[in-house]
A and B are shown apart, each in its own frame.
Chain A
Amino acid sequence: MSDDFEEKKILVIQTHGIETPRRTYSPIFYAMASAAMEIETMIWFTMDGTNQLKKGEAEKIKLDPTSNVTLRTMLDQALESEVSLRVCHQSMALFNMTQDDLIDGVQILGATSIIDLSLEADHVMYF
């Protein structure tokens, strides 16, 4: 199998948020792995996945109490790895969130955009 993935695209859809911490880290980790392999990678946060992007929330989630790595650390590392973070505009209403509530670096898109992005991606991972 070739290990040259240039111009490939992966879309990760995250529907889980801060009320289920154990379901938050892995999709971000996979996205970072994908980016490290030179694959254009995006995480789309929708439904309950939206609330982790609210300022101050991800900092509260830490899977390993002995580590200093929080969910916010993971999100920041994903951004540094050039993973695109995008959020569903309609889902933000579920949590009374506005653009001002979002952490920096997250782009808001509407429902039709997720269809476009799904069609453009070479693979979609759904969590």
Chain B
Amino acid sequence: MSENPDVRGCVIPLSLHYNVTDHTWIMVGDDGLVTLGMTDIAQNLAGPLLHCKPKKPGSVRAKGRPIATVESSKWVGPVKTPISGEIVEINDVLTQDAATINRSPYKAGWIVKLRPSDLEEEMKLMVTGQEAVEAYRTKIEADDIQACDHVEGFEA
């Protein structure tokens, strides 16, 4: 089985944890920090991103609160954190080139790193692995989300 399966071309790496409703992913590092970003599905729905404005380091965010706003030519909205905690680092690359999220949503396009405050409990509300793939398959079909189109290249 591929480590990066897809549904309608939308890539869903098995190693990450997802909030399917808000289209976000997290990865927990060896240092205990949580890296957070938008999914491939999210960047496709938004379209080519023009700006990404993360909250400042030091901001404390409760689960469900925005950690950034992103905007394309056709949409603007929040990126909501699935994990409570303090923002300790933001991805400066996105200030100059928000479309990095389109090209590499799971690697170079990460948005913030958090020091989590309730990780164990809040991760129970997320999905990972094949369960995540099936959850996304259900959502993509229910919402009739169009196929992900990686016109600017893609790094999974």
A-side contacts of B150, CB under 8 Å: none
B-side contacts of A36, CB under 8 Å: 66, 69, 76-78
A82 to B69, CA, bound (A): 15
Question: Would A3 and B76 count as touching, CB distance under 8 A?
Answer: no
Cβ-based interface call for A69 (8 A): yes
**Contacts A3-B55, A3-B59, A4-B59 given; does A33 touch B69 at CB 8 Å:** yes
Q: Which of B71, B74, B78 contacts A69 (CB 8 A)?
A: B74
B-side contacts of A37, CB under 8 Å: 66, 69, 78
Cβ-based interface call for A96 (8 A): no
**Contacts A4-B59, A38-B65 given; does A32 touch B76 at CB 8 Å:** yes
A3 to B67, CA, bound (A): 11
B-side contacts of A3, CB under 8 Å: 53, 55-56, 59
Cβ-based interface call for A95 (8 A): no
A3 to B65, CA, bound (A): 13
Question: Would A38 and B66 count as touching, CB distance under 8 A?
Answer: yes
Cβ-based interface call for A91 (8 A): no
State the interface size on chain B (CB cutoff 8 A): 13
B-side contacts of A112, CB under 8 Å: none
B contact residues vs A (CB 8 Å cutoff) = 53, 55-56, 59, 65-66, 69, 71, 74-78
In the complex, the chain B residue whose C-beta lies closest to that of A6 is: B65
Cβ-based interface call for A67 (8 A): yes
Most chain-A Cβ atoms within 10 A of its Cβ — which of B56, B75, B76? Answer: B76
Cβ-based interface call for A77 (8 A): yes
Interface residues of A in 1-36 (CB under 8 A from B): 3-4, 29, 32-33, 36
Q: Which of B55, B71, B74 contacts A33 (CB 8 A)?
A: B71
Cβ-based interface call for A90 (8 A): no
A67 to B76, CA, bound (A): 16
A81 to B55, CA, bound (A): 19
A and B contact pairs by CB, cutoff 8 A, 7 listed: A29-B76, A32-B75, A32-B77, A33-B71, A33-B76, A36-B78, A37-B78
